[in-house]
């Protein structure tokens, strides 16, 4: 039976494992796709319009926002970023789910959007702040100043945990992924997300009547 697609929102502080969980989800179900963001920044070498980002100038981006064409958007260092609505609606109509890797503000905007009733939000917590700090340092990519900034932002991110439908503690990657997969499976099976179910049950009742 057909079903309506989900808007799956994943959020976490940097280093808690959100990106790893997202990659594992897409390996598990190849029909699950990332929402391709729109941006006003210039394309970098190798980046393609509609593949890596939807590239717009500032006026074009604002026009889309004014027309209600963005599920969420924000300004970051002078450039705008957002999640276009039209591709997500098309995916939903085809029964495909869209994955959003956003912070709490982006997640809040999506939940409050016209498509919010089909949003499922999951927040991923680290097992401890010490472990979060260790993971950020283990990357070997950032300076002490950058790590301190990420840790400060993490505190703010974690303060919004109660706004999410589900909260997972990523103390073991395999276990966390299995719980995340179970959430998605259950959400896909909800009665209200299966529009053909009423017709199917009517068919069963017609079989009863014909006996």
Q: What CA–CA distance (Å, rounded) separates 93 from 77?
A: 35
Q: Identify whether the C-beta of residue 88 lies closer than 8 Å to the C-beta of residue 100.
A: no
For residue 37, what pLDDT is reported? Answer: 92
Q: What CA–CA distance (Å, rounded) separates 100 from 98?
A: 7
Options 3.40.50.300, 1.10.3720.10, 2.30.30.90, 1.20.140.10; CATH for 7-34+97-210 is 3.40.50.300
pLDDT tens over the chain, length 211 residues = 789 999 999 999 988 999 999 999 999 999 998 999 999 999 999 999 999 999 999 999 999 999 999 999 999 878 999 999 999 999 998 999 999 988 999 999 999 998 999 999 999 999 999 999 998 898 777 888 989 988 999 999 999 999 999 999 999 999 999 999 999 999 999 999 999 999 999 999 999 999 9
Boundaries of every domain in the chain? 7-34+97-210
pTM over 0.85: yes
For residue 141, what pLDDT is reported? Answer: 74
Q: What CA–CA distance (Å, rounded) separates 167 from 11?
A: 10
Strand partners, 80: 75
What is the residue whose two structure tokens read 């098309």? 90
Which residue from 46, 35, 28 is spatially nearest to 184, judged by alpha carbons?
28
Q: What kind and span of H or E run contains 65? A: helix 58-66
Q: What CA–CA distance (Å, rounded) separates 209 from 203?
A: 10
Cα Rg of the chain (Å, integer): 20
Compute the C-alpha angle 156/110/25, nearest 5°: 85
């Amino acid at each position: 039976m057909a079903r309506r697609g989900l808007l799956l929102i994943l959020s976490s502080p940097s280093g808690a494992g959100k990106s790893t969980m997202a990659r594992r989800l897409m390996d598990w179900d190849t029909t699950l796709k990332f929402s391709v963001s729109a941006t006003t920044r210039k394309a970098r070498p190798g980046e393609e319009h509609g593949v890596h980002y939807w590239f717009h100038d500032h006026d074009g981006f604002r026009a889309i926002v004014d027309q209600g064409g963005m599920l969420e958007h924000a300004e970051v260092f002078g450039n705008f970023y957002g999640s276009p609505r039209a591709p997500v609606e098309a995916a939903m109509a085809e029964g495909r789910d869209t994955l959003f890797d956003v912070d709490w503000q982006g997640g809040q905007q999506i939940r409050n959007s016209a498509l919010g009733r089909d949003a499922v939000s999951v927040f991923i917590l680290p097992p401890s702040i010490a472990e979060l700090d260790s993971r950020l340092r283990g990357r070997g990519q950032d300076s002490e100043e950058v790590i301190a900034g990420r840790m400060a932002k993490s505190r703010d991110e974690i303060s919004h945990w109660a706004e999410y439908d589900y909260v997972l503690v990523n103390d073991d990657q395999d276990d966390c992924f299995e719980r995340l997969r179970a959430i998605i499976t259950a959400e896909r099976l909800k009665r209200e997300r299966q529009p053909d179910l009423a017709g199917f049950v009517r068919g069963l009742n017609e079989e009863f009547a014909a006996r």
